[in-house]
Amino acid sequence: MTPRLLPERPRRPRPEPVVPMINVVFLLLIFFLMTASLTPPAPFEISPPTAPGEEDASTDTLYVSADGDIAFGEARGEQALAAATASGPVRLAADARLPASDLARILARLAALGAPEVRLVTTGGG
């Protein structure tokens, strides 16, 4: 047996593997991205009236522009009113510049179609 000229170096402990942890983090990220519910953009620009109160967190909204254009998801016009009524309580986002008589006609049409409840979307005011 030959003598060692240099003393034996102590062995370093092996580092913990990081790759499995990165895999789990990416799987969780993909899971949350796939299951998240994102609110679709409004079909046209509206400026809702202001009123005090809390904002409703519902995502199904019936939009009415200042010109009287009506949209619900992909539906437009009369189909939008029928689709909004069929979805349950109607969440109505009408432009503040929409004449009150036009809004009253839309509310009457929703009532005739059997809407159980209509909630008007407003911006937080004082």
**Across the 126 residues of the chain, what is the mean pLDDT of every consecutive 10-residue run?**
73 83 93 82 73 60 88 88 86 88 90 87 68
- Is residue 93 assigned to a domain? yes
Please give the model's pTM, rounded to 2 decimal places: 0.56
Question: What pLDDT was estimated at residue 22?
Answer: 92
- Is residue 56 assigned to a domain? yes
- Is residue 16 assigned to a domain? no
d(CA 73, CA 62): 8
- Is residue 35 assigned to a domain? no
d(CA 71, CA 77): 6
Question: What pLDDT was estimated at residue 91?
Answer: 87
- Is residue 102 assigned to a domain? yes
Question: What pLDDT was estimated at residue 29?
Answer: 93
DSSP state of 121: -
Domain that holds residue 83: 50-124
What is the three-class DSSP state of 23? helix
- Is residue 110 assigned to a domain? yes
- If one counts the domains in the chain, the total is 1
- Is residue 6 assigned to a domain? no
- Is residue 45 assigned to a domain? no
